[in-house]
A and B are shown apart, each in its own frame.
Chain A
Amino acid sequence: MPTDKTSFARQFIGSIPHSRELGMTITEVSDGKAEIAMGYDTRFVGDPETGVIHGGAVSALMDTCCGTAVMSHPQVGGATATIDLRIDYMRAATPGQTITARAECYHVTRTVAFVRATTYDEDFDRPVATATGAFTVEKS
């Protein structure tokens, strides 16, 4: 894994106020792929009865992870923006556990990047949610 790109990506995440707010940390990034972790926080709970993280927080994590994957792709020049993102929720994330998103930018045209992502809690055999999205591409 090229360390310069990782440190760039870490710096990039650190410069996004909302991602910093949610405590996201990049654990891995390389050509078109990214992994970002987010620790459990009671502020992000959707249903206080169960303590389960709100779907919106999972969306924020996947959106950031997909965007990071796009920007790390060799054919993508600069910044990117989400065109659309679909999230499927498989099950509730276990309260108290860190959630991790893994995104892969699997196809890039001159104008659009296609991405898919999966989010796990500490059980990596059973996904919590998956996402597919399209992102804008700026010429490099």
Chain B
Amino acid sequence: MPQNRREPLQQVKHRRDAALRALAGGIPYAQYLGITFDRRGDELTALLAYDDKLIGNPMLPALHGGVTAAFLEVTAIVGLSWSFIWEDMESGALPLEEVEAGTLPRLPKTIDFTVDYLRSGLPRDSYARARVTRSGRRYASVHAEAWQDNRNRPHAQATGHFLMLPRD
């Protein structure tokens, strides 16, 4: 990947953060649930800040299964989009002006999504990461994992297939 080694650090960070903001901030449902993304280089970690409105079982209490599913799906879609935005952004194919104007490639469409509920979601913050296991011209497979206090004890994992929209 052709990269300018002399490009000032602030400029590099500014470009990457602007792209991430445009990508994740452009999904109303992710905003509504309170999902944000933390970036370290090209690695993203999704954060779901706890809120009482996310509860599905008030007796335990536990997070709603639908919230966990949505959190993993948002993580998977953003992670997948990020992987190809990153390439275009770093190679210069996607200019900063376009990134800042929010004109990013269309989001991939979910074909199917399977969630395994491993433990009940506690009433506290959740984190998730996605791994693109295969990214082809038309289809992609993505795995995502969510955890709370302990990274080695995920409360849910998911696999999904996505339809890539043609880039123009």
A84-103: which have CB < 8 Å to B?
Answer: 84-89, 92
B1-9, B10-18, B36-44, B104-112 - interface stretch? B104-112
Q: CB of A1 within 8 A of chain B?
A: no
Would B32 and A44 count as touching, CB distance under 8 A? yes
B29, B31, B56, B114: which has the most chain A beta carbons within 10 Å?
B29
Given A16-B56, A59-B66, A64-B66, verify A44-B115 contact (CB < 8 Å). no
Report A-chain residues with C-beta under 8 Å of the C-beta of B73.
54-56, 59
Pairwise interchain contact A81-B74, C-beta atoms closer than 8 A: no
- Contact flags (1/0) for A113-129 with B, using CB distance below 8 Å? 00000000000000000
Contacts of B70 in A (CB 8 A): 54-57, 59-60
Contact call A59/B28, Cβ cutoff below 8 A: no
A44 to B32 alpha-carbon distance, docked (Å) = 7
B53 in contact with A18 (CB, 8 Å): yes
Size of the chain B interface, CB-CB below 8 angstroms: 38
Within 8 Å CB of B69, what residues of A? Answer: 56, 59-60, 63, 85, 87
Contact with B along A14-28 (1 / 0, CB 8 A): 011111011000000
Given contacts A84-B114, A89-B112, contact A79 B59 (CB under 8 A): yes
Interface size class of A (residues with CB under 8 A): 35 or more
A47 touches B27 (CB 8 A): yes
Interface: A2 (CB within 8 A): no
B residues less than 8 Å from A82 (CB atoms)? 65, 115, 117
A: residues with CB less than 8 A from B are 15-19, 21-22, 42-49, 53-57, 59-64, 67, 79, 81-89, 92
13 CB-based A-B contacts, threshold 8 Å: A17-B55, A18-B54, A18-B66, A44-B29, A46-B27, A53-B29, A55-B110, A59-B115, A64-B56, A64-B66, A79-B57, A85-B114, A87-B113
